[in-house]
A and B are shown apart, each in its own frame.
Chain A
């Protein structure tokens, strides 16, 4: 579904992605973790073209990014992206947020889009917030609207860029619960997160990155109980200490 082959990227002189080779199968859930600045956000932002790669191949849903034949705008409709800062449209209600792309990109009739938008919002536990503006919602609620916004496009892939890092602790679980539900329905997911409970519960694989390179991959079981490298051990001891 997603395949990186020898991908490199630089920000100026900074080598942010170093020779990444990694593939994600359909219906697979992969958690990406690593210290801040390790390139994990950049990695998943490349998948929907929010960042461009310098060399190597990146094939998403059978299409090679950067090819003339690849229509990036079309490909993006198949990829949901959840941001750390939610990025809901502040001038639109929850329902308008989730129906905007279905109506304008998928060209679904408004009534139909609103019906499935309501259904999706109810599914993430916001059945009573259709007409609320983002500023009237808590962080956890906003992030759930953002997830519903992606799901309304019926994507093939969902990418999550630190979806709970901007949340107060008591709101993290309501967002993780929704993500677990999405994973259990068989979505192909790449999730940048330090929520190890989530990784243990639904991830098939954990990818550990440091300084722009993939240092270690393994099942959550292997990775957490028996990390292979010094860097992953050092990282785990830091995030699991508390």
Chain B
């Protein structure tokens, strides 16, 4: 029985690979975009403009305080009502990028705030411009604090990408739903789906742990 099911599962492996590819593409693209956007927001949030700080803070709270599934539905079903047509992939990327940016913004801002004011004053006193202070003095030190939680956040976001199956994207999770209709062994199918996610996430988990260990040891810049 299980042998037969395994055999029939083997036949689904091109579909599974496609699903895995979709999950990796979705998370990869939105993590890159979300990291860039999140850094920008984090830097803006600590730039000293109270107006910007509270505007970004409000958005971050809104996103963190609502379920991701609801956010995806809003983007995919409501935006077309307003005349913005989106395919499911673009909608998924937008939703995930936004979610990633909000979490990363908070991590980066916390890192920046952890840098002692004396560091900024020293950079200021030597005539470095605002961007140079950020780039040369503040961010490298903020990264020491931010990098481990940042990588940890990546893992959470990769797993959150499974929610996009709800708008019909054939990612790893949706492949599981499709296959289980043909091979009625949910435990087996979703165990394999789980392994798929784990294979992607585990190296990142190890990386986060390594960074955390190195943080306490290193006095220089933390290198990946």
Asked if A133 CB lies within 8 Å of chain B CBs, one says yes
Asked if B204 CB lies within 8 Å of chain A CBs, one says no
Q: Is the CB of B126 within 8 A of A91?
A: no
Q: Is the CB of A90 within 8 A of B141?
A: yes
Q: Is the CB of B125 within 8 A of A91?
A: no
The interface-forming segment of B26-34, B128-136, B147-155 is B128-136
What residues of chain A lie closer than 8 Å to B54, measured between beta carbons?
A: none
Least Cβ distance of A206 to chain B in Å? 24
The A-contacting residues of B in range 55-105, CB under 8 angstroms, are none
Asked if A211 CB lies within 8 Å of chain B CBs, one says no
In the bound complex, CA of A136 to CA of B140 (Å): 19
Question: 1/0 per position for A19-57, CB-CB distance to B under 8 A?
Answer: 000000000000000000000000000001110000000
Q: Is the CB of B126 within 8 A of A101?
A: yes
Question: 1/0 per position for B133-168, CB-CB distance to A under 8 A?
Answer: 000110011001000000000000000000000000
A81 touches which of B116, B119, B125, B136 (Cβ 8 Å): B125
Asked if B122 CB lies within 8 Å of chain A CBs, one says yes
What residues of chain A lie closer than 8 Å to B220, measured between beta carbons?
A: 91, 133
What residues of chain A lie closer than 8 Å to B126, measured between beta carbons?
A: 76-77, 81, 100-101, 105, 149-150, 153
Given contacts A101-B128, A104-B136, contact A91 B144 (CB under 8 A): yes
What residues of chain B lie closer than 8 Å to A50, measured between beta carbons?
A: 121, 124-125
What is the size, in residues, of chain B's interface with A at 8 Å between Cβ atoms?
A: 21
Asked if B48 CB lies within 8 Å of chain A CBs, one says no
Name, among A88, A100, A149, the residue most crowded by chain B CB atoms within 10 Å (CB to CB): A100
The B-contacting residues of A in range 81-99, CB under 8 angstroms, are 81, 83, 85, 87-91
Q: Is the CB of A76 within 8 A of B132?
A: no
In the bound complex, CA of A58 to CA of B25 (Å): 59
Least Cβ distance of B119 to chain A in Å? 6
In the bound complex, CA of A152 to CA of B141 (Å): 23
Name, among A80, A85, A101, A149, the residue most crowded by chain B CB atoms within 10 Å (CB to CB): A101
What residues of chain A lie closer than 8 Å to B184, measured between beta carbons?
A: none
Asked if B127 CB lies within 8 Å of chain A CBs, one says yes
Least Cβ distance of A143 to chain B in Å? 12
Q: Is the CB of B219 within 8 A of A135?
A: yes
In the bound complex, CA of A87 to CA of B138 (Å): 12
Name, among B116, B123, B129, the residue most crowded by chain A CB atoms within 10 Å (CB to CB): B123
Q: Is the CB of B137 within 8 A of A73?
A: no
What residues of chain A lie closer than 8 Å to B119, measured between beta carbons?
A: 87, 89
Q: Is the CB of B136 within 8 A of A90?
A: no
Q: Is the CB of B125 within 8 A of A48?
A: yes
Q: Is the CB of B129 within 8 A of A87?
A: no
What residues of chain A lie closer than 8 Å to B11, measured between beta carbons?
A: none
- Identity of the chain A residue whose Cβ is nearest the Cβ of B125 in the assembled complex: A81
Least Cβ distance of A51 to chain B in Å? 10
- Identity of the chain B residue whose Cβ is nearest the Cβ of A103 in the assembled complex: B136
Asked if A79 CB lies within 8 Å of chain B CBs, one says yes
Q: Is the CB of B118 within 8 A of A76?
A: no
- Identity of the chain A residue whose Cβ is nearest the Cβ of B220 in the assembled complex: A91
Asked if A74 CB lies within 8 Å of chain B CBs, one says yes
Least Cβ distance of A95 to chain B in Å? 13
Q: Is the CB of A136 within 8 A of B219?
A: yes
Q: List 16 A-B contacts (CB under 8 A).
A: A50-B125, A77-B126, A79-B125, A81-B121, A81-B126, A87-B116, A87-B118, A90-B141, A91-B140, A100-B136, A101-B126, A101-B127, A104-B136, A105-B132, A149-B126, A150-B126
By a beta-carbon cutoff of 8 Å, the part of chain B in contact with chain A is: 116, 118-119, 121-129, 132, 136-137, 140-141, 144, 219-221
By a beta-carbon cutoff of 8 Å, the part of chain A in contact with chain B is: 48-50, 73-74, 76-77, 79-81, 83, 85, 87-91, 100-101, 104-105, 133-136, 149-150, 153
5 tightest A-B CB contacts, nearest first = A77-B127, A87-B122, A81-B125, A101-B126, A87-B118
